[in-house]
Amino acid sequence: MSQCLFSADLSRRHFLKIGLLGITGGLSLPYLSGLDAGVAKKTSQQSVVMIYLPGGPTQFETFDPKPDAPGEIRGSFTATQSKVPGIQYCELLPQLSAIADKFSVVRTLVGMENRHESFQCYTGRAGGRTEDGEPAGGWPALGSIVSQLLGPGNAGMIPYVDAAPRMSYSPYNNNGSHLQGNPSWPGFTGFNHIPFTLEGEVKSDLVLNGIDVTRLNERRALLESFKGSQQKFEVDGIDNLQQQAFQMLTSGRFAEAMDLEKEPVSVRDRYGKLQKTDPSFGGAPQSPQHLLLARRLVEAGVRCVTVAFGAWDWHANREGSIEYLSKKYLPVFDQALAVFLQDLEERGLLEQTTVIVWGEFGRTPRINAKGGRDHWPGTQSVLLAGGGIQGGRIVGQTDRIGGVPLDRPVHVQEIFATLFNNLGIDTQTAQITDLSGRPRYLIDENRHPIRELV
């Protein structure tokens, strides 16, 4: 992961340009002129961490095993009893199974299109194509809406941070790219509310006066550069809001949140080490340290953090069969996610941090001739934890082959209604005006938070 370094000779013109590209993290007039209706006050700040699994993870080898189905449906692995009586997960997830009371799983998600686009996960909607009926400017991401409605986090912290690595397959990146059609970037909330991007598609926009970004393991150089910029930067001609933004970026709190070396070695080792994924997937590495970074960011006051983890397009047309891929990648996923949830709880952060883990669709019930599973938007499993989510529950049941909901289909808009609800945003009243001047509700009519979990 990397982060921009700021030039001491940054001009007003360059600063204004960077401000438009999201580096202000949404420090703009809507925050100071009063919050929109529909935002409830909570005693402590609520945050969301969205862990996006690029490519569409298999539900069978994770959270919806079918041990009694035929082999071509069941796959190579059995189910294991979790800590919660009656709930089974795949045997390759022993650590998550041991803390199954800390999270819940929706097994019957519907409403996603068969599109390899992170956009669906970040917005809860399809976009880019004429038939999608997007408003002018495109649908905004969850974090952008949170940024506009709630403003900066504690003590003025940047509200929305994307900590995902840059991925070679563009629609996996959090940049509004689509397989077809026009980009939906930045969405009708505007550039002031795109994420502050630590790495990724916006990275090239954050290179100032020839100073390149640093790598994650060059953290000390980053901090020293921040300190130098803070001492030398001249604020002549920069208005108050822009000065606040620069001061936040050069403040000790933000820089320290990104400094993983502040963590004891035992904590970093507990999360585990990075495992690369095959480049042919075009996805992300499995980087447990990015989950540790997400914890540090919400601890510092960031309201919404997005992270991409792994590469899950397991057709068996690259690297290996789903049996091979599951054995290689699921133990790292299991370890990192279990530690992340436990770490949040141990630090008193889980009750105020909603965690969602999902991809853009599920996988086919039947294993294909190559030994993989193909795209399946008919249903998928979603993990939800924290922020008031009731743990140890399963919402919905799929049929005997895991292909379609047998009962209680949960629409993607219900997921987003739940996330907004946990943040203290009333989706029945909150509105944002789009670029044509039309007030827009955040959620489609008749979609509500998941009643079984809140």
pLDDT tens digits, residue range 138-191?
999 999 999 999 999 998 899 999 999 999 999 999 999 999 999 999 999 999
Closest C-alpha to 379, from 358, 400, 402, 401? 402
What contacts 211, CB < 8 A, 6 or more positions away? 4, 5, 6, 7, 225
pLDDT band with cut points at 50, 70 and 90 for residue 249: low
> What φ, ψ does residue 18 adopt, rounded to 5°?
-65, -35
How far is CA 22 from each of CA 19, 202, 374, rounded to the nearest angstrom? Answer: 6, 9, 36
Q: Give 324: exposed, middle or buried? Use CB within 10 Å, 0-12, 13-18, 19+.
A: middle
- What angle, rounded to 10 degrees, do the helices at 322-346 and 288-300 form? 30
pLDDT at position 419 is: 98
Residue 213 has pLDDT above 80, yes or no: no
Question: Which residues on neighbouring strands pair with residue 89, listed in sequence order?
Answer: 80
Angle of CA points 51, 427, 423, to nearest 5°: 45
Residue 316 has pLDDT above 60, yes or no: yes
Looking up tokens 């669709």, which residue turns up? Answer: 361
> What φ, ψ does residue 89 adopt, rounded to 5°?
-125, 175
* 328 touches 187 (CB < 8 A): no
Q: Which residue has better confidence, 384 or 249?
A: 384
149 sits in which H/E element? helix 142-150
Strands (E), 242-388: 304-308, 353-358, 362-363, 375-376, 382-385
How far is CA 23 from each of CA 126, 179, 342, 360, rounded to the nearest angstrom? Answer: 26, 27, 32, 27
pLDDT at position 224 is: 53
* Percent above pLDDT 90 for the chain: 76
| Sign of the C-alpha dihedral computed for residues 414, 418, 419 and 421 taken in this order | positive
* 79 touches 64 (CB < 8 A): no
Closest C-alpha to 440, from 25, 26, 38? 38
pLDDT band with cut points at 50, 70 and 90 for residue 298: very high
Looking up tokens 């002549």, which residue turns up? Answer: 236
pLDDT at position 25 is: 40
- The single-letter code of the amino acid at 448 is H
pLDDT in tens, 341-364: 999 999 999 999 999 999 999 999
Report the alpha-carbon distance of residue 368 to residue 15 in Å, rounded. Answer: 53
* 284 touches 311 (CB < 8 A): yes
Q: Say whether domain 42-191+277-441 belongs to CATH 2.70.98.90.
A: no
Q: For the chain, percent helix, then strand, then coil, each to nearest 5?
A: 35, 15, 50
pLDDT at position 447 is: 96
pLDDT band with cut points at 50, 70 and 90 for residue 31: very low
How far is CA 113 from each of CA 51, 164, 284, 356, rounded to the nearest angstrom? Answer: 19, 22, 21, 19
Of the given ranges (157-161, 187-191, 215-219, 254-258), which has the lowest mean pLDDT?
Answer: 215-219
Closest C-alpha to 398, from 69, 57, 52? 69
